[in-house]
Amino acid sequence: MQLREVIVLLGGEVIWGESLVGGISIDRCYAADLMSDVLAFSQPGALLITGLANIQSTHTADVADLTAILYVAGKRPAQQVCDLAREKGIPLLTTALSMFDACGILHRAGLRGAHHRSVPN
Amino acid sequence: MDEVLYAEKFTILGNDFEHGGDVAARVKAILKQLGLGGDVIRRLSIANFEAEMNVVMYADEGELELQVTPDAVRIVLADRGQGIPDIELAMQEGWSTATPEMRQRGFGAGLGLPNIKRNTDELEITSTPGAGTTLKYVVHFNG
């Protein structure tokens, strides 16, 4: 799915990276506020969905090779975070939807989880 | 002793949450410039970020030493701080002494050291309570 389509589905907007968004497509997402979980279990190339808007969210996306960050619940990172995202070439998106609703809409649209350890039944 | 192709030391300040992750990002950029493989860089970067955040959260100051040899990347991170009284316990996923501020930052859930172990080929931890902790870890290029 094109990242642009994600933004439309969620009624979201681009905080930074407008010029990059058009060239990115994703098929997996990882949703968490716990960055250690993201570092431990995410797959490279995923879209990070989080309510954590501090500088560590962008460092996490960078070191874990995640494609872009979607902030939920209307969260907006500070300028310092946007500056780091620009330096690393990581687009930042935001939506007013909650984590649950954003994930539900994206899952229904065909995106899947990027959790690389199998989940117990 | 293997030939050292690249070496550099980086200082990490305790309680400096605003810069927590800078050193891992700088090391990642260096490893990319050196042309290392994507998987090696990702594993090391995750280990470095977790180790760096441990210094930010629990120590006064730390120094990360990067060494690149023809077949591996070796990291030594020595900090001055409270140390780890029981390393075996700290290696268990979910065991944590984190404060609410640490958890608000997205860390402190007891996954740090297990994450470092998961992403490295060798890990050695030595610690003196009240003095500090030293982590030594290695990622082999053919690992």
Residues 6 or more apart whose Cβ sits within 8 Å of residue A24: A2, A3, A67, A68, A91
Enumerate residues 6+ apart whose C-beta is below 8 A from B42.
A44, A63, A64, A65
User: Is some CB atom of chain B closer than 8 A to the CB atom of A52?
Assistant: yes
Return all residues near B57 (Cβ < 8 A) that are at least 6 apart: B14, B15, B98, B99, B102, B107, B108
Judge: B111–A37 Cβ closer than 8 Å, yes or no: yes
Closest residue to B105, CB basis, from A44, A54, A65: A54
Contact A85, A69 (CB under 8 A): yes
Read off the pLDDT of each residue in B102-131 and give the average, rounded to a whole number: 94
Sort out which chain B residues have CB atoms less than 8 A from A56's CB and list them.
Answer: 17, 20-21, 53, 105-107
Q: What does the pLDDT read at residue A36? A: 92
pLDDT over threshold 70, residue B1: no
Range of the domain at A82: 3-111
Tokens of residue B91, six digits: 């290696």
Query: What angle in degrees, to the nearest 10, is found between the helix axes of B38-58 and B22-33?
Result: 160
Establish, for the pair of chains A and B, how many residue pairs have beta carbons separated by less than 8 Å.
79
Identify residue B72 by its one-letter amino acid code.
A
Q: Is residue B101 part of a domain?
A: yes
Q: The domain that contains A15 carries what CATH number? A: 3.40.1390.20
pLDDT at A119: 46
Question: What average pLDDT does the segment A99-109 reach?
Answer: 98
Could you report how far apart the first and last alpha carbons of chain B are, in Å?
19
CATH number for the domain including B12? 3.30.565.10
Does residue A117 form part of some domain? Answer: no
Residue B107 touches partner A, C-beta closer than 8 Å: yes
- Separation between Cα atoms, residue B95 and residue B108, nearest integer Å: 9
Neighbouring CB atoms inside 10 A of A27's CB total: 12
Which residue segment(s) compose the domain that B24 sits in? 6-140
Is B42 within a domain?
yes
Confidence of residue A118 (pLDDT cuts 50, 70, 90): very low
Asked if pLDDT for residue A100 goes beyond 70, the answer is yes
Residue A44, token pair as written in the block: 């490279």
- Identify whether A107 is part of a domain: yes
Å from A40 to nearest chain B CA?
Answer: 6
Q: What is the pLDDT of residue B44?
A: 98
Q: Mind listing the pLDDT tens digit for each residue in A27-69? A: 999 999 999 999 999 999 999 999 999 999 999 999 999 999 9
Answer whether residue B1 is part of any domain. no
CB atoms A34 and B109 under 8 Å: yes
pLDDT band of residue A117 (cuts 50, 70, 90) is low
Q: Above 70 in pLDDT, residue B141? A: yes
Specify if A120 maps to a domain: no
Domain-located, residue B74: yes
Number of domains present in the structure of chain A? 1
Computed on alpha carbons and rounded to an integer, the radius of gyration of chain A in Å comes to: 13
Sheet holding B132-140, edge to edge: B6-13, B59-68, B72-81, B132-140, B122-128
Query: Quick check: A120 pLDDT over 60?
Result: no
pLDDT in tens, B61-74: 999 999 999 999 99
Burial of B43 (0-12, 13-18, 19+ CB in 10 A): buried
Confidence of residue B142 (pLDDT cuts 50, 70, 90): confident
The residue in chain B having the minimum alpha-carbon distance to the alpha carbon of residue A44 is B42
Q: Confirm whether B97 is domain-assigned.
A: yes
